[in-house]
Structure 1
Amino acid sequence: MTATTAVTPAVAASAEYPPERHRPRVTIGTDGSTWGDAALEWALRHAWLVNAGLKVYSAKTSDDHAIARRLDVYRWLNASVTTSDDSPEQTLLTASTETDLLVLGHHGHSPHNLSIGHLVLPLVTHSHCDTVIVRGEPRAVRAEHGWVTAAVGGSHDDAVIRRAAEIATRYRDGLRIVHAWPLPGPRAVPSKAEPNEVLEKARALVAKLVPTLTPSLHLVRSRPHEAVETCSRSDLLVMGPGSEPGQLSAVTRTALHLAPCPVLVVRP
């Protein structure tokens, strides 16, 4: 497909955070399904808000004219559209080495094209960059709630807080920080830190990164994977992949399947 380009938008960046090192790059894979289209719309809006370049990988099942119409709405973005003869998984994994954020719908048409439903777990597990899985209720997908939620209590809390604070600042949203404190029981894993210490450390990091941003702190008394259901009225849930290399945690897998909003998994 012929690349589609447009004039770069002049979007005002935060004077305090994040520091400008290079122009962000966003990559979206779509197959023309309902959730593929939703992921494309999410990626377009996000790229506009963070002043990023956008690259669209289109499957054979995609409607090129529909993609062109959506890009025309954001014609000031520096955007391109391309296809690949490689498998969907290989195409997007390769793309993840050259971008800052990979955006996917949580489900597609079928496993015979760029169907994200069957690729979500392997792509999020092995992606070389942050990954957003677009899912959830319509208001969250359209980013109408005005809240970004960061799930802390894992080994990648600093990266999670940094990403969440950056996006909340760019979106001009509120920041909610959630920590799940497990209920006592035979299968409960003892925490290495007191729950209030986890939240206080997160609050202190936000204060250092964005002094003008005051997060809302929430301690949820439940199993971590059950806390995913408490993230309603959020536009984005930011979390880590888990502590085991090459393997997503049970909490992250639960969020990818059940979260009521899009999920961003950081790549530390």
Structure 2
Amino acid sequence: MERTIVVGVDGSARSGVAADWAAREALWRRLPLRVVHVTDVTELSGANLTESRAHLPETPTGRAMVELASQHPELTAEEIRIDGEPASELLALGASAELLVLGIRGAGGCAGLAVGSVARAVAERSERPVVLVPGGPACTGTGWRTDKVAVGVEARQPDDEALDFAFDRANHLDARLRVVHAWKMPEPDAALLPFAVPGGDRAALEDDEVQLLSDALRPWREKYPRVRVLEDVVLFGVGEALVRASGRADLLVAGRRGNRLGAALNRLVGHAGCPVAVVPA
């Protein structure tokens, strides 16, 4: 089975940013890129669908292919245009891909909607890693950020697939990996209210969290001994910690359990400062 990277485009500027990110990723991995546009047949009548096919050179994939050929002449890319339900068709095409790449929002989203419906559905249902790319300069790969790769970890229940993805990428880039573990203070006993937890107790609790993270990472340090790891234990909510980490990373990796993004991942992708790799457990 051929290894590929699949990117979905819809003609929007955001999907153009995603296509450029996917092209650079394909070149780095030395893989071909499939540039996919799905015409949503649920939104087109038969006459409109026939008319849309009459202008194939003006399709989103056609425009994307011209732009990618200009910007990345060494890229091997294939154009795919199909009819169907976008999320389902992208999931089918991406089922055997190394990565499935999408803009966080596309052309059809509402202005107040942080995550597009197609991007959300694909990120929640894909059995392969999905990279959601926000628009803007965060995705240009200029290299000014401190972290090439960062990963969010729940030290008490680490996501092995997400950690392997992040360590493997850091290893191939010969880059430091920032591992972010968020924790919160326990609710105080009624007898302590309204007083805060004593400073000594807080330090001891934080030491416990640091040790938990160190223990969780030990197998991965052994598997990837060349990777330099920065263990970052932060006193924030998980979503807030991931958003903050995305502001200084080129790529932030997060695990997904089940078929929902969950509160923390929802907050992350809605406010991401860099591309986010959602890796299913």
Q: Indicate the TM-score class for this superposition, using the shorter chain for normalisation.
A: 0.7 to 0.9
2:231 counterpart SS class? strand
- Rounded to whole Å, the distance in 1 between the matches of 2:18 and 2:227 is 28
Match of 2:234 in 1: 220
What is the aligned partner in structure 1 of residue 82 from structure 2?
A: 84
Counterpart residue number, 2:221: 207
Q: Deviations over 1:36-81 (max 9, x none)?
A: 0000000011111122222110356516144223135434343211
Q: Tell me, which stretches of 5 or more residues in structure 2 are unaligned? A: 40-58, 110-114, 189-204
Residue 94 (structure 1) shift: 1.0
Query: Once the 2 structures are TM-superposed, how far is the Cα of residue 262 of structure 1 from its aligned partner?
Result: 0.9
Q: 1:66 to 1:266 in 2, by over 3 A?
A: closer
Normalised by the size of structure 1, how large is the TM-score? Answer: 0.79
Q: What residue number does 1:103 align with?
A: 101
Letter of the 1:228 partner, please give it: L
Residue type at the aligned position of 1:238 = V
Letter in 1 for 2:268: A
Aligned to 1:117: 116
Pair 1:40-2:19 in alignment = yes
Amino acid at match of 1:257: G
| Residue of 176, 179, 192 corresponding to 1:177 | 179
Gaps of 5+ in 1: 1-21
Give the aligned partner of residue 129 of structure 1.
128
Paired letter, 1:153? E
* CA radius of gyration, larger in: 2
Residues 123, 77 of structure 1: CA spacing in aligned structure 2 closer, same or farther, 3 A cutoff? same
Letter in 1 for 2:10: D
Structure 2 residue 251 is the aligned partner of structure 1 residue 236 = yes
Which contiguous aligned blocks of 4+ residues in structure 1 show a shift greater than 4 angstroms? none
Q: 1:148 corresponds to which letter in structure 2? A: V
- Contact 1:181 / 1:221 at 8 angstroms: preserved in 2? yes
Match of 2:51 in 1: none
Q: Is 1:31 aligned to 2:29, yes or no?
A: no
Q: Do residues 56 (structure 1) and 35 (structure 2) align? A: yes
> What is the Cα deviation at residue 158 of structure 1?
1.9
Give the structure-2-normalised TM-score: 0.75
Q: Give the equivalent residue in structure 2 for 1:160.
A: 162
1:147 correspondence with 2:156: no
Query: Which structure dedicates a bigger proportion of its chain to helix?
Result: 2
Counterpart secondary structure, 1:170: helix
Letter in 1 for 2:151: A
Separation in 2, partners of 1:246, 1:240: 12
Distance 1:198 1:119, change over 3 A: farther
Question: Alpha-carbon deviations, 1:199-240, whole Å to 9, x = none?
Answer: 213442332232121111100111112212321210111011
Aligned position for 1:246: 259
Q: CA RMSD in A?
A: 2.7
Give the aligned residue type for 1:249: G
